[in-house]
Structure 1
């Protein structure tokens, strides 16, 4: 099941967002989350990070973590440190759900900065990427 992103009919998007969606669509042709190895997708905004472990066959989210949660909002750290904590937290929740290995989906974002910090935090907590 490939995610349907039709960027041609979304004329209200900025050029930057349209480019990001095009990169995301290109990556999703190759990345698919199976029950034995689900997809760890990272969503990034200017202020927050969200990480979800998704089984694409069942269409279900197995675990998630976000900087919008109360315990992570209370941290007095920079955004990159909070992103690493999100990676650790989603890895712990995924392991509690019985997931040991995941496929990393950067969703069209560059593997750099906060996106890389989420992956590093997940690896540090013992999740195989």
Structure 2
């Protein structure tokens, strides 16, 4: 049997987690994250309508943007966007990534803005 790549294992884990995760609604949308080697992306999704309510990413930054400090600043920005939409609580979807490093820094910054998970 061939060895599975790290990304395929993460995708399988993502589907396992997503099957147990409650889908995002208009009152409690899902905050999904994706990270690559150099960038970090996050979307606030209403799954009942299939609409992205807000999104942030590190694509606009010219310097290396795959670090924890930038993920934390994105979390602060996303928290402000969520508050502008008058949403109190969300469902956090870490997409199969370990709650560590950039994902953790992002989530903690969103929580500091007053959004409940």
Any idea what the Cα deviations from partners look like across 1:22-69, whole Å, max 9, x if unmatched?
010001102211111110111100111111110100101111111113
Among 45, 49, 52, the alignment partner of 1:54 is 45
Give the equivalent residue in structure 2 for 1:29: 19
Alignment of 1:100-115 (within 5 A): 100-115=88-103
Unaligned runs of 5+ in 1: 1-13
Q: TM-score, normalised by structure 2?
A: 0.88
> Alignment partner of 2:20: what SS?
coil
Instruction: Note closer, same or farther for the CA distance 1:39–1:78 as it changes in structure 2 (3 Å cut).
Output: closer
Give the equivalent residue in structure 2 for 1:96: 84
Give the number of aligned pairs: 113
For 2:34 and 2:40, how far apart are their aligned partners in 1? Answer: 6
Q: C-alpha displacement at 1:76, in angstroms? A: 8.6
Q: TM-score, normalised by structure 1?
A: 0.81
Q: C-alpha displacement at 1:98, in angstroms? A: 2.1
Give the equivalent residue in structure 2 for 1:125: 113
Unaligned runs of 5+ in 2: none
Instruction: Say whether 1:43 aligns with 2:31.
Output: no
For 2:58 and 2:88, how far apart are their aligned partners in 1? Answer: 23
Give the equivalent residue in structure 2 for 1:83: 71
